[in-house]
Structure 1
Amino acid sequence: MTSVSSSTSSTSTTSSTSSSASSVTTTGTTTSTSIDWSALITAAVNAKLTQATTISTTITNNEAKVSAYQTLQTDLSTLYSGLSSLATSVVNSLATNAFATRAATISSTGDVSASSALSMSVSNGAATGDHTLTISQIATAQKVAGTTQSSQTDELGYSGTFSLGLEGGSTADITITSTMSLQDVVDAINAQTSTTNVQASIVQVSSGSYEMVLTGTEDAADITYSSTSGDDILNKLGVTDSSGAFSDVLQKSQAAEFSLDGISMTRDTNDITDVLTGVTFNLLQATPSGATLNISIEPDTSQIESAVETFVTNYNTFRDAVMAQQATGSDGTASSSAVLFGDGTMRDIMDALQNALNSTVGGLTMADLGLSFNENNELELDTSTLSNILSTNLSGVTTLLSAQTKTSSSQLSVVNTGTSPQSFTLDLTVDSSGNLTGASVGGDSSLFTVSGTTIIGNSGTAYAGMAFTYSGSTSQSITVTSTSGIATQIYQIAKTYSSSSGSLQTLITNLQDRDNDLQQRVDDIESAASAYQTQLQTQYANYQAAIESANNTLTYLKALLNSSSSN
Structure 2
Amino acid sequence: MTSVSSTDTGAATTTTTNTTTTSSSSSSSAHTANVSSDSDIDWDALIEAAVLQKQLPADRISNKITENEAKIESYNTMQDLLGDMLDSVETITGVSESLTEQDDIFSSREAYLTGIGGADAENSLVVTAEAGVAIQTYELTIDQLATSQKVASASQSSGYDELGYTGTISLSMEGAAIPVNKDGDEDPTLLQVEVDDTMSLVEIADEINTRTDYTGVTATVVAVNENDFRLVLTGETGTDIVMTSVEGDDIGQSLGLTDGSGAYVDELQSSQIAKFNVDGVEISRKSNTVDDVIDGVTFSLYQTTDVGESIAVEIGQSLSSIKDAVVSLADSYNAYREWAITQQAIDASGSVSDDATLFGDNMLRNINTEIARGLSKVIDSEGMALLGLSYDENNYLELDESELNDALLNDIDQIEDVLNFQYETSNSDLAVLRRNANMPSELTLDFTVDEEGALVGVLADGEAGLFEVDGTRIVGVEGTDYEGITFVYTGDENATISFSTSAGMAEQLFQSLNKYTDEDDGLLTEKIASLEEQNEDYEAEYDDYMSIVDAYEMRLTELYSSYQAAIEEAQSSLDYLEAILNSGD
Alignment TM-score > 0.5, same fold: yes
The verdict on how the C-alpha distance between 1:138 and 1:437 changes in structure 2, with shifts beyond 3 A counting, is farther
- Which of 287, 300, 321 is the aligned partner of 1:282? 300
- Which of 157, 161, 167 is the aligned partner of 2:174? 167
Are 2:557 and 1:537 aligned? yes
Higher mean Cα deviation, 61-70 or 234-243?
61-70
1:226 aligns with 244
The verdict on how the C-alpha distance between 1:151 and 1:498 changes in structure 2, with shifts beyond 3 A counting, is closer
Q: How far did 1:255 drift?
A: 1.8
Q: How far did 1:97 drift?
A: 1.9
1:122 aligns with 129
Q: How far did 1:438 drift?
A: 11
The verdict on how the C-alpha distance between 1:45 and 1:209 changes in structure 2, with shifts beyond 3 A counting, is closer
* Structure 2 counterparts to residues 155-554 of structure 1, below 5 A: 155-169=162-176, 170=178, 171=188, 172-178=191-197, 180-216=199-235, 218-329=236-347, 334-335=352-353, 337-407=355-425, 410-411=428-429, 413-414=431-432, 417=435, 421=439, 481-499=500-518, 501=521, 503-504=523-524, 508=528, 511-512=531-532, 515-554=535-574
Looking at structure 1, the residues matched to 473 and 198 of structure 2 have their Cα atoms a distance apart, in angstroms, of 64
Contact 1:134/1:287, CA 8 A, preserved across alignment: yes
Q: How far did 1:267 drift?
A: 1.2
Mind listing any 5+ residue stretches in structure 2 that lack a counterpart? Answer: 1-35, 179-187
- Which of 35, 47, 55 is the aligned partner of 1:49? 55
Higher mean Cα deviation, 301-310 or 86-95?
86-95
Task: Give deviations 1:334-391, integer Å, cap 9, x for gaps.
Answer: 4454444444443333333333333321231222222222222332222211111121
Are 2:126 and 1:144 aligned? no
Looking at structure 1, the residues matched to 260 and 449 of structure 2 have their Cα atoms a distance apart, in angstroms, of 69
Task: Give deviations 1:423-469, integer Å, cap 9, x for gaps.
Answer: 66789999999999999987669989x7x988888999866876677
Q: How far did 1:168 drift?
A: 2.1
Equivalent position SS for 1:275: strand
Task: Give deviations 1:380-403, integer Å, cap 9, x for gaps.
Answer: 222211111121111111011111
Equivalent position SS for 2:379: coil
The verdict on how the C-alpha distance between 1:155 and 1:456 changes in structure 2, with shifts beyond 3 A counting, is farther
* Structure 2 counterparts to residues 545-564 of structure 1, below 5 A: 545-563=565-583
Q: How far did 1:544 drift?
A: 1.7
Question: Residue type of the partner of 2:274?
Answer: A
Task: Give deviations 1:74-110, integer Å, cap 9, x for gaps.
Answer: 3333322221122359999943322122222323234
TM-score, normalised with respect to structure 2: 0.78
Q: How far did 1:550 drift?
A: 2.2
TM-score, normalised with respect to structure 1: 0.80
Question: Residue type of the partner of 2:52?
Answer: N
Contact 1:141/1:221, CA 8 A, preserved across alignment: yes
2:46 aligns with 40
Q: How far did 1:537 drift?
A: 0.9
Higher mean Cα deviation, 400-409 or 430-439?
430-439
Contact 2:99/2:435, CA 8 A, preserved across alignment: no
Higher mean Cα deviation, 273-282 or 424-433?
424-433
Task: Give deviations 1:126-172, integer Å, cap 9, x for gaps.
Answer: 32232211112111222223333444445545444433222222353
- Which of 78, 102, 111 is the aligned partner of 1:104? 111
Question: Residue type of the partner of 1:553?
Answer: S
Contact 1:138/1:283, CA 8 A, preserved across alignment: yes
Which structure would you say has the larger Rg? 1
Looking at structure 2, the residues matched to 319 and 462 of structure 1 have their Cα atoms a distance apart, in angstroms, of 32
Q: How far did 1:265 drift?
A: 0.9
The verdict on how the C-alpha distance between 1:389 and 1:528 changes in structure 2, with shifts beyond 3 A counting, is same
Contact 1:91/1:99, CA 8 A, preserved across alignment: no
Cα root mean square deviation, aligned: 4.0
Question: Residue type of the partner of 1:165?
Answer: S
Question: Residue type of the partner of 1:105?
Answer: Y
Q: How far did 1:485 drift?
A: 0.6
Equivalent position SS for 1:298: strand
Looking at structure 1, the residues matched to 360 and 152 of structure 2 have their Cα atoms a distance apart, in angstroms, of 84
Contact 2:466/2:480, CA 8 A, preserved across alignment: no
Mind listing any 5+ residue stretches in structure 1 that lack a counterpart? Answer: 1-29
2:139 aligns with 132
Looking at structure 2, the residues matched to 362 and 243 of structure 1 have their Cα atoms a distance apart, in angstroms, of 78
Q: How many residues align?
A: 533
Looking at structure 2, the residues matched to 368 and 63 of structure 1 have their Cα atoms a distance apart, in angstroms, of 43
Taking every aligned residue pair, what percent have the same amino acid on both sides? Answer: 38
The verdict on how the C-alpha distance between 1:161 and 1:390 changes in structure 2, with shifts beyond 3 A counting, is closer
Contact 2:474/2:486, CA 8 A, preserved across alignment: yes
